[in-house]
Chain A
Amino acid sequence: MIRLASKHKWLGSLITCAILVTPVVNADEESEKEGLRIATERKESDRGWDNSLADMSMILRNAQGQESERRMRVKTLEVQEDGDKALTIFDSPRDVSGTAFLSFSHSKEPDEQWIYLPALKRVKRIASQNKSGPFMGSEFAFEDMTSFEVDKFTYDFLRDDTYQGDEVYVISQVPQDDYSGYSKQIVWIDKEHYRVRKVEFFDKKGDLLKTLEFEDYTLFDDEFWRPLKSFMYNVQTQKSTELITHELEFDAGLEDTDFDENSLRRAR
């Protein structure tokens, strides 16, 4: 409440300023600050989970209605002061079973990614320029799969709104990396828990490309909200990908050594 009151006072003086100087620029600065505040709060409200282990399915659908399912396990490690680390092991389809994918998300430098191919018994690095490419043939790009870091974007608060009955902030975020496949994203974040409820992705020519909706938010360990379903829909090609979490465990006893090249080879 105090914060809110002080914010209003600040806003009041700003408005006074705005009338005196150029109103448009000041209003923009204000909304950018508010956008950044929301994004920072989003990251802050999800700190301290340390590590987790999830059992997931990825279901691909095309415009013809065909489906293809991939089963995978995802290990994640929280990294303070930088992006998180994740190791994804594919269990199906059979042909790629045992394939593992390791990613280090970074807040300021490009992300790093490696893949292990069991039939070749080799680890291959994936160039970060390809972050815009599809992950496992799905509608998720690599950049959609890595962890959210505040420094990856610049922000602008757009409006207050309601989403599925909940109060939300709607902000836009512009990727800072030139290799991103997006010109911007619009994010719906609920006010109560700072959970992302929906994202719209815009392609390089500024057209809406994909929408991502998070559903079945569940509270784990009384502290951490995780969506059990995320649904990515490509509005241009009518293809979609659904990501379903079957099981999720926090404090799975994972540590840094579980997320290196050797662990990739060991992953099965």
Chain B
Amino acid sequence: MRALPSWIAWFIKSPKMALALFLIVCVVATIGAKNLYFRGDYKVFFEPDNPQRVAFEEMQNIFNKSENVSFLIVPENGNVYQPSTFELTQALTEDAWQIPLSLRVESLSNYQHTYAEQDDMIVTDLIRQGQTGAEHINWVKDVVASAPEIAGRLVSDQGQVTVVDVTVQLPDGDQTKEVIKIADFARTLEQKYEEAYPDHEIYLNGMVVMNDAFAVAAQNDAETLVPLMFLIITVLIGVLTRSLYAAISTLIIVATSIAITMGLAGWYGLFLSTATVNVPTMVTTLAVADCIHIIVGMRLFLDTGMSKADAIHKSLLINKKPIIITSVTTAIGFLMLNFSAVPILADLGNMTAVGVMLACLFSLTILPALLTLFPFKGSSTEAQKQQKFEALGHWVTKNYRKVLPISAVLLIAISLFSAKNELNDVAVNYFDDSSTFRQAVNIQKDYLGGMSNMDFVAYTDEQYGITNPEFLSKIGQFAEWLEAQSEVQHVLSFSDTMKRLNMNMHADQPAFYALPENKELASQYLLLYEMSLPYGLDLNNQIDIDKSALRVIAVLDNLGSNEFTDFERRAKAKFAELAPDLRLEAASPPLMFAHIGERNMKSMVGGTLLALVLISGLIVIALRSWFLGGVSLITNLVPAGVGFGVWGMLSGEINMALSVVLSMTLGIIVDDTVHFLSKYQVAREEGRNVEQAVHYAFRTVGLALTTTTIVLAAGFGVLTLSSFALNADMGALTVIIIVAALLIDLLFLPAFLMWLSKRKGATEHDQISKQT
């Protein structure tokens, strides 16, 4: 028997000593995890000098922030113009000022209506406390009909729904705590008023509520489905290997690999984000695969009657090289994410690379030590299973003329469907109809249209530039254009306010609902109006401090990220045509997320595909064979094509989480390829022909690869139960890809090898592989 390197052998010789030292290393490294903290804010996706981030932050600094919570008030009888709804709206508006971090509360009741009274301009709340008489209600109804600032925004066009909108100022950095605090407070208000007004339904909506729903959904899954996933993985390993100790040993390696990876990240000063929370799952896949290779190998040799020490020794010997090749190439693949423009994806890549290497190291050292200490006995069942796989190998080599064309056509056909996929990240669609947030979104959609705002800021770079009648008329035209677009639900433009002020100053004559003719007049109307607004209802959300920039707020349907960014381009082009000398910026949280989706997807998928190609290059070097490296290129890339092809058939909608799946499955894809090909190569080098080499590969790795795939597919299958589409889709696509990878390696790959050997002459490329 060939010898293992002495440092690996030491772990088998002195398992107790090894485990004691390992325990210390684990504790020390894992303490670092206390330094980890979660950042859920958008900034983690962008470099500090990213142009979209700069534009967005500039807008946030100049105007008020635009994160919000909104209460949708739905009276049962479908008419908000009644005393109880007025009373409710007025009281809720008052109470909404108590929401933590609230800056501004807007509703039908505190809308600052202006009208002329003799020679005076009156500015007043639309509904003051107690103003619920029939006469007042009719007056409000008339006002709403003539005020584009409220109609369709604070009250639905048919008057079935009214909105109390609260703007909050979230701090920079991690906002999770504040988001939860705000959402909790809003929910208590919602309950209080639903109890007090049983003939009304109240729904919560807005950016903050959405972020909260995200946090809650992620937390629910993290508390139930993710532990269940680990449980199923452990139990299945136990069942499939018929050994409790195999399951426990694997669990120990997986847990310590994850713990030390996260601990080291903490020591290094990294933080958790929506990307890096996936690191444990990614490390799990390859750690499970590594352990199963060694355990299955050991059991096979135990069954042949070897002593346990020898069986472990032999299993390590045959698995060491492929495990190291798989781990190193996968780690390098993940390091490729450092080229991504998204900083947290670089963190994800680095952390996973470290985790994968740790899993490799531990499965070659700590796992043998554990296996040495735990009792294992030989049995005949493993040998039987092994024979089944060898029989499958025989079947493939015998029928390769059928298997190859059928599988090739099938793979190509399925892969073609991946073109059907479209990046369409509609954040609200992540939640199914059972979530209260999604119900609120649906109500909003039915009565008011979407909830995605896009804010446009026109900069004049001149003090009081915005009161220039020419500028205001351009803005008015732009607002009209926006209003005319089918996806736009509402436009809030100061040009409308200015028209109304002009009318008020001319005794409310409708003929004067137009922009004032000169700049001084417009400036002084603005001043008068501004001086008449109470705290929290000022114009800071629309006009900057030196009156040089104006913000126009458009509310759109809940579009996918592509359509959203496309609308941005169209609007900018339109404004450039209207006012070529003015600068217009567009920004808003939904727009940021739209850009994030696009960027994330591109970097992630592009980066991973590049990594797979690079890994094939590395396999050329590791196996010292151009031929096998070339073959691995196919088996590495095709599972991704098939996976996304199946997805194209099933759904066709790609969201942010799915872009991570390819990276998540990268390790398993490579593992399947490398283990199969390296066993094949060993057999060829020992002088067997292609057919025999394929049989050998089936016998030695078929069981391990299948076990790994079943275990992981069942584990990730659990995630498909999530009501949160991000996790459910991620689980489903992961299962599809790893199953596809296994089938390709067990059916297409051997048939392909057979076909190549028959076509080119069996000896040719093997000679090359030996020489290089």
When the two chains form their complex, are residues B524 and A135 in contact, meaning their CB atoms are under 8 A apart? no
When the two chains form their complex, are residues A62 and B61 in contact, meaning their CB atoms are under 8 A apart? yes
**Hey, which chain A residues are within 8 Å of B520, CB to CB?**
95, 118-119
B463 at the interface (CB under 8 A from A): yes
B102 at the interface (CB under 8 A from A): yes
What interface size band does chain B fall in?
A: 35 or more
Q: How far apart sit A67 and B169, CA to CA, in the bound complex (Å)?
A: 22
When the two chains form their complex, are residues B97 and A134 in contact, meaning their CB atoms are under 8 A apart? no
- Select from chain A the residue with minimum beta-carbon distance to B467: A95
A176 at the interface (CB under 8 A from B): no
Q: How many residues of A contact B (CB 8 A)?
A: 45
B26 at the interface (CB under 8 A from A): no
Name the distance in Å between A238's Cβ and chain B's nearest Cβ: 8
Residue among A101, A133, A136 with the highest chain B CB neighbour number at 10 A? A133
Given known A-B contacts A95-B523, A137-B545, A125 and B464 have beta carbons under 8 A apart: no
When the two chains form their complex, are residues A132 and B535 in contact, meaning their CB atoms are under 8 A apart? yes
Name the distance in Å between A69's Cβ and chain B's nearest Cβ: 8
Given known A-B contacts A95-B467, A120-B505, A181 and B546 have beta carbons under 8 A apart: no
When the two chains form their complex, are residues B534 and A130 in contact, meaning their CB atoms are under 8 A apart? yes
When the two chains form their complex, are residues A60 and B545 in contact, meaning their CB atoms are under 8 A apart? yes
Name the distance in Å between B171's Cβ and chain A's nearest Cβ: 10
B135 at the interface (CB under 8 A from A): no
Identify B535's interface contact among A95, A117, A127, A141, CB under 8 A.
Answer: A141
When the two chains form their complex, are residues B534 and A66 in contact, meaning their CB atoms are under 8 A apart? no
**Hey, which chain B residues are within 8 Å of A246, CB to CB?**
none
When the two chains form their complex, are residues A66 and B533 in contact, meaning their CB atoms are under 8 A apart? no
Q: How far apart sit A219 and B543, CA to CA, in the bound complex (Å)?
A: 39
Interface members, chain B 543-561 (any A CB < 8 Å): 543-547
When the two chains form their complex, are residues B62 and A135 in contact, meaning their CB atoms are under 8 A apart? no
Given known A-B contacts A124-B120, A126-B532, A68 and B538 have beta carbons under 8 A apart: no
**Hey, which chain A residues are within 8 Å of B537, CB to CB?**
133
**Hey, which chain A residues are within 8 Å of B191, CB to CB?**
none
Given known A-B contacts A117-B527, A119-B518, A64 and B61 have beta carbons under 8 A apart: yes
**Hey, which chain A residues are within 8 Å of B484, CB to CB?**
none
When the two chains form their complex, are residues A66 and B62 in contact, meaning their CB atoms are under 8 A apart? yes
**Hey, which chain B residues are within 8 Å of A115, CB to CB?**
527-528, 531
Identify B546's interface contact among A68, A133, A179, CB under 8 A.
Answer: A68
Name the distance in Å between B95's Cβ and chain A's nearest Cβ: 10
B100 at the interface (CB under 8 A from A): yes
Q: How far apart sit A141 and B120, CA to CA, in the bound complex (Å)?
A: 22
When the two chains form their complex, are residues B62 and A62 in contact, meaning their CB atoms are under 8 A apart? yes
Name the distance in Å between A31's Cβ and chain B's nearest Cβ: 27
Identify A66's interface contact among B524, B540, B546, CB under 8 A.
Answer: B546
B443 at the interface (CB under 8 A from A): no
Name the distance in Å between A112's Cβ and chain B's nearest Cβ: 14
When the two chains form their complex, are residues A181 and B531 in contact, meaning their CB atoms are under 8 A apart? no
**Hey, which chain A residues are within 8 Å of B535, CB to CB?**
132-134, 141, 181
When the two chains form their complex, are residues A237 and B544 in contact, meaning their CB atoms are under 8 A apart? no
**Hey, which chain A residues are within 8 Å of B58, CB to CB?**
64
A122 at the interface (CB under 8 A from B): yes
Interface members, chain A 130-176 (any B CB < 8 Å): 130, 132-137, 141-142
When the two chains form their complex, are residues A124 and B100 in contact, meaning their CB atoms are under 8 A apart? no
Encode contact with A along B510-536: 1 for CB under 8 Å, 0 otherwise. Answer: 000000001111011001101111111
Name the distance in Å between B89's Cβ and chain A's nearest Cβ: 18
Encode contact with A along B274-310: 1 for CB under 8 Å, 0 otherwise. Answer: 0000000000000000000000000000000000000
Name the distance in Å between A181's Cβ and chain B's nearest Cβ: 4
Q: A94-B464, A130-B123, A134-B530 are in contact. List 8 more A-B contacts (CB 8 A).
A: A61-B545, A95-B467, A95-B519, A115-B528, A119-B523, A137-B539, A205-B99, A237-B103
Q: Residues on B close to A: CB < 8 A?
A: 58, 60-62, 64, 97-103, 119-124, 169, 463-464, 467, 505, 518-521, 523-524, 527-528, 530-540, 543-547
Q: Residues on A close to B: CB < 8 A?
A: 60-68, 93-96, 99, 101, 115, 117-120, 122, 124-127, 129-130, 132-137, 141-142, 179, 181, 203-205, 207, 236-239
A-B contacts, 23 listed (Cβ < 8 Å): A61-B545, A64-B62, A66-B62, A67-B545, A68-B547, A95-B464, A95-B519, A101-B531, A119-B524, A124-B528, A127-B124, A130-B533, A132-B535, A133-B533, A133-B535, A135-B531, A136-B531, A137-B540, A137-B545, A181-B536, A205-B98, A205-B102, A239-B545
Going nearest first, the 5 A-B pairs with the smallest beta carbon separation are A68-B546, A132-B535, A95-B523, A64-B61, A181-B535
